[in-house]
């Protein structure tokens, strides 16, 4: 046992005395020490209930002969951080989460881990730590929120509230209706109920084999979620006994599976930041061209909010992620020979799985589209790529040309949209919001929701070197690389330049002569960093491009 170095032999008498100070007994110290990483806090709805999940996981560990040792992880609520300086810290928190788990597990010689996240950056941060440490680990998430109900019994979610603000500003709803959305769209604990970033990553954790079947879709408030946590505690002990480690599971082939399911689900564009970052820790490289290759052969089968009207609980009742994987497996679009945390292969896990609702998970002969829900665009405006959730783009906006409306911050763009200065046909350009330029690569749900709420999502496109919430819909292209702060073409665009978007052909161009762009480049001077102190100033110096997952430089 790794933990023997802090609990076995005469020389570790001082360490054992410290364990005894906390009430541990000899029998507990004779067992494997299993870290239980609890990201509970009182600021994220998706995490407010995680003490219950943690308690269940610890019970499972004890039942299987381990000693659970709980410690915390931080978490940012993207919805609360949205639209102000707080969002700059969200993506940046991912590296802190991974680093802090590495520190705790290594400093205390833990034998295994149960990782308990639920929302946006916490899930990939924990998976990055698991791959880096490579000790037996199981992820058990907190589960999705139930769908809300608002005016007219319409199914609602957090995105509904953001878009309601745009509708209110456009005079389409009154204060009473706005308050109704505020009071009802988020009915309780759990990760926000659409295929936003949190649920995207929880579902892809299951696909990667790092979460038990059901991890992505069992609702937060169901007793089944507690039972899943107990099983996770039991299963991590089985992994320890069999010496199954994260890198035995998170192989190149399983990341390809994750990308295939990503395309079939139409996940958040943020998955194209997080999967490469997790893969990087596992020693696997994900190339953005590979994303398009997998998208080209993977049909879009499941259209959840914001792209469609279904939510996570609908996917749960349809059979969950396992049912989607079974559909792809039948078409040989995923490799089912791979190991998972169940101790079984994907094929063995799928033996009795059926699709219970072909309206939610469409069959292969009736897809929403023949290609995946995400696409990576390339061109002179994005030499290293830009990412769009094509499954959430109106058909009339898949190809679009329009004049650039240029802003150097999210706040300036949002103000212009709310003031009615953006009109049909425009292409809103928001720059200096990338990993370095932000710093922190903010999500742009305020401006995209304002556009959608004002009824312009079928007429206006938005491009940025920042990123988008999984709740975003419309012709919104993020992760433009290289970013403006690194001298990318997006920093050279001038007001009125014609931007040409061709999503089916994976193209993003600014229709300006190369000689003129070269002249602008020679005269280009980056704007002053927006934050020069604290963690974000250090983050900006270390972080790489969005095209590499915005990981730190080696």
- CA 373 vs. chain centroid, Å, equals 15
CB 471 within 8 A of CB 194: yes
Which DSSP state fits 489?
A: G
Instruction: Provide DSSP, 508-547.
Output: EEE-S-HHHHHHHHHH--PPPPS--SHHHHHHHHHB--GG
**In this predicted structure, what is the pLDDT of residue 170?**
85
CATH code 3.40.50.2300 region(s) in the chain = 31-146+190-350
- If phi > 0 it is left, if psi is from -120 to 50 it is alpha, else beta; for residue 109 that is left
The Cα 424–Cα 422 span in angstroms is 7
Q: Helix, strand, or coil here: 304?
A: strand
- Residues labelled as active-site residues: 469
Rounded (10°) angle between helices 271-281 and 252-265: 170
pLDDT under 70 in the chain at which residues? 150-153
Other C-beta atoms lying within 10 Å of the C-beta of residue 337: 10
The total of other beta-carbon atoms located within 10 Å of residue 370's CB is 11
| Residue closest to 334 by CA, chosen among 283, 258, 274, 282 | 258
For the chain, the first-to-last Cα distance in angstroms comes to: 30
What is the fold of 376-548?
Glucose Oxidase; domain 1 (3.50.30)
Q: How far is CA 511 from CA 289, 403, 427, 502, in A?
A: 23, 10, 13, 13
What residue ranges in 251-325 does DSSP mark as E strands?
none
Q: Which two tokens stand for residue 487?
A: 């001298």
Neighbouring-strand partners of residue 405: 428
User: For residue 152, what pLDDT is reported?
Assistant: 62
At the topology level, CATH places domain 31-146+190-350 in Rossmann fold (3.40.50)
Q: Do 422 and 428 contact (CB within 8 A), yes or no?
A: yes
Distance (Å, whole) CA 546 – CA 434? 8
Cβ–Cβ contacts within 10 Å for residue 354, how many? Answer: 11
What are the φ and ψ backbone dihedral angles of 12, each rounded to 5 degrees? -95, 15
pLDDT of 529: 87
d(CA 223, CA 483): 45
Q: Strand 382-388 relative to strand 137-139: parallel, antiparallel, unpaired?
A: unpaired
Q: What is the CA radius of gyration of the chain?
A: 23
Is 243 annotated in a binding site? The answer is no
| Nearest by Cα to 71 from 37, 97, 119 | 37
Question: 3-state class of 185 per DSSP?
Answer: coil
Whether residue 121 is annotated as binding a ligand: the answer is: yes
Q: Tokens 């932000």 appear where?
A: 438
CA distance 146 to 189: 8
Global pTM value: 0.95
Phi, psi (rounded to 5 degrees) for 77: -85, 110
- The Cα 334–Cα 430 span in angstroms is 37
The Cα 509–Cα 501 span in angstroms is 7
To the question of whether residue 554 is assigned a binding role by annotation, the answer is no
The pLDDT of residue 46: 97
- Helix orientation angle between 197-208 and 122-133, rounded to the nearest 10 degrees: 30
Those residues with Cβ within 8 angstroms of residue 18's Cβ, 6 or more apart along the chain or in another chain: none
Phi, psi dihedrals of residue 467, rounded to the nearest 5°: -140, 175
99 is in an annotated binding site: no
pLDDT tens string 169-185:
889 999 999 998 999 99
Q: How far apart are CA 6 and CA 12, in angstroms?
A: 6
d(CA 337, CA 359): 28
Residue-level pLDDT at 453: 82
**CATH 3.50.30.80 domain position(s) in the chain:** 376-548
Q: Give dist(CA 389, CA 403) in Å, integer.
A: 22
Predicted pLDDT at 151? 60
Token pair 């943690």 is found at 54
**Cα–Cα distances in angstroms (integers) from residue 164 to residues 147, 159, 271, 449, in the given order:** 16, 8, 26, 8
């Amino acid at each position: 046992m790794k933990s023997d170095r802090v609990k076995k032999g005469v020389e570790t008498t001082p360490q054992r005395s410290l364990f005894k100070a906390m009430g541990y007994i000899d029998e507990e110290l004779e067992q494997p020490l299993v870290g239980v990483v609890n990201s509970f806090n009182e600021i994220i709805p998706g995490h407010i209930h995680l003490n219950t999940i943690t308690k269940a996981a610890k019970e499972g560990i004890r039942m299987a002969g381990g000693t659970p040792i709980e410690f915390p992880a931080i978490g940012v609520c993207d919805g609360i951080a949205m639209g102000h300086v707080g969002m700059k810290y969200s993506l940046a928190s991912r590296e802190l989460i991974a680093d802090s788990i590495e520190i705790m597990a290594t400093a205390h010689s833990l034998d295994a881990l149960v990782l308990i996240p639920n929302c946006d950056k916490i899930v990939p941060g924990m998976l990055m730590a698991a791959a880096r440490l490579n000790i037996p680990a199981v992820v058990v998430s907190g589960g999705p929120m139930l769908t809300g109900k608002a005016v007219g019994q319409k199914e609602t979610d957090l995105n509904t509230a953001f878009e309601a603000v745009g509708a209110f500003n456009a005079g389409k709803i009154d204060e009473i209706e706005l308050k109704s959305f505020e009071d009802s769209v988020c009915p309780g604990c759990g990760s926000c109920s659409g295929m936003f970033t949190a649920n995207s990553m929880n579902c892809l954790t299951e696909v990667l084999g790092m979460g038990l079947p059901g991890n992505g879709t069992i609702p937060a408030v169901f007793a089944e979620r507690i039972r899943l946590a107990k099983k996770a505690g039991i299963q991590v002990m089985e992994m320890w006994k069999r010496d199954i480690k994260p890198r035995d599971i998170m192989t190149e082939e399983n990341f390809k599976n994750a990308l295939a399911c990503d395309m079939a689900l139409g996940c958040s564009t943020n998955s194209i930041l997080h999967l490469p970052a997790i893969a990087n820790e596992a020693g696997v490289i994900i190339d953005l061209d590979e994303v398009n290759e997998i998208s080209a052969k993977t049909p879009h089968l499941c259209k959840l909010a914001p792209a469609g009207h279904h939510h996570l609980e609908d996917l749960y009742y349809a059979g969950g992620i396992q049912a989607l994987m079974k559909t792809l497996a039948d078409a040989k679009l995923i490799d089912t020979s791979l190991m998972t945390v169940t101790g079984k292969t994907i094929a063995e896990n799928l033996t009795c799985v059926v699709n219970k609702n072909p309206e939610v998970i469409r069959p292969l002969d009736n897809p929403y589209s023949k290609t995946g829900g995400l696409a990576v665009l390339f061109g002179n405006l994005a030499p290293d790529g830009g990412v769009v959730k094509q499954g959430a783009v109106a058909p009339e906006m898949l190809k679009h040309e329009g004049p650039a409306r240029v802003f150097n911050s999210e706040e300036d763009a949002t103000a212009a949209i709310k003031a009615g200065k953006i009109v049909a046909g425009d292409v809103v350009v928001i720059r200096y919001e990338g990993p370095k330029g932000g710093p922190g690569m903010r999500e742009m749900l305020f401006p995209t929701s304002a556009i959608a709420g004002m009824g312009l999502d079928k007429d206006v496109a938005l491009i940025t070197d920042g990123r988008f919430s999984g709740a975003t819909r419309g012709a919104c292209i993020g992760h433009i690389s290289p970013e403006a702060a690194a001298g990318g073409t997006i920093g050279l665009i001038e007001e009125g330049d014609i931007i040409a978007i061709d999503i089916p052909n994976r193209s993003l161009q600014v229709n300006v002569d190369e000689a003129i762009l070269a002249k602008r480049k020679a005269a280009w001077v980056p704007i002053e960093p927006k934050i020069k102190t604290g963690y974000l100033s250090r983050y900006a110096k270390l972080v790489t491009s969005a095209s590499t997952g915005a990981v730190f430089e080696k």
